[in-house]
Amino acid sequence: MRARRVVFVAFPGVQILDVTGPMEVFSTATRFLDTADYRTELVSTHGGPVRSSCGLEMATSSIVDLDGPLDTLVAAGGQDMDEPSNDEILVEHLQRLACKAPRVASVCSGAFLLAAAGLLDGRRATTHWAECDELAERYPEVEVDPDALYVQEGHVWTSAGITAGIDMALALVAEDHGRRAAARVARQLVVYLRRSGGQSQFSKLLAAQSADSEPIRELLAWLPDHLADNLSVPALARNVNLSERQFSRRFKHEVGASPAEHVETLRLDAACRLLETTDNPIEEIARVCGFGATETMNRVFRRRLNTTPGGHRHHFGAGDHVSLPEAT
């Protein structure tokens, strides 16, 4: 078993979770997988303590002194990328190390560092959704995908904001050791190994949390536990004591999607989670998630995810599943 060297690049104001989230994935893989041995390092321009955006300091070594073979080079992000992107020493040595690394990655706005080093020219890439327009404007040679959790273009990986770095790191472990090994790491970290790179980073489920009115907020909190109920517009309108027309208009305004679209997203998300974490029959999952017939769930998976429920389970299922209790 060969140790894999993973080098993280930091700077003053770095977002600490961009470093510690992916780093913990590699550390957990080393501790719980017999086949994994990751050696992580943290570097900055001159080395020494680096204060993160939340105020915590991290010890780093100098990127100038870093030499020898490495397997993965990861650029972390931060709230203000102007200074690190204009740090000629940092960018120069980032280019130098990238030439030696079989795999280069960025977390969140760390994509600006890779772009400043010319490593994203002619490639599709992503970053935090709020920074995508700026990345595209500043580096027109980069094809920015504003809606992906992470993007792999050859040996270069880029990821969206913060926790998407964990998703990307799990994908890197899967590339090195297989999907089941990555699933074991995900279970140890108590996260779902379910978010593929093509999944939207600006989730409708997250956007829905910003609903303004109390009836809509209460309805949104109630919905995930009642997916098998009648969730038609008339039924939901009665639930919040509004007319169908008034309900539909207010829901679309506050949530950014129609009631039917939001309910379908909830059911799809629940079905994906059960396909990945249980061995329950697809027919049972279709029922408890409110799709009714299996064919209805198949159509939604093909339209929304370009796959089938069985294909999704094959690709993202972790093995060693548990059984889902019978729904009442």
Just list the catalytic residues.
Answer: 108
Nearest to 122 by CA among 145, 142, 99, 146: 142
Q: How far apart are CA 117 and CA 95, in angstroms?
A: 6
CB 223 within 8 A of CB 263: yes
249: left (phi over 0), alpha (psi -120 to 50) or beta: alpha
- Sorted by sequence, the CB contacts under 8 Å of residue 63 that are 6+ apart come out as 9, 43, 44, 45, 47, 89, 90, 93, 94, 97
CB 219 within 8 A of CB 240: yes
Find, among 41, 54, 42, 36, the residue nearest to 11 by Cα.
Answer: 42
Q: What is the C-alpha separation between 116 and 86, in angstroms, rounded?
A: 8
The candidate with the shortest Cα–Cα distance to 132, out of 123, 145, 141, is: 145
C-beta separation of 179 from 171 below 8 A? no
How far CA 304 is from CA of 231, 308, 312, in Å, comes to 20, 10, 12
Amino acid letter at 253?
Answer: H
Work out the number of other CB atoms within 10 angstroms of the CB of residue 297.
24
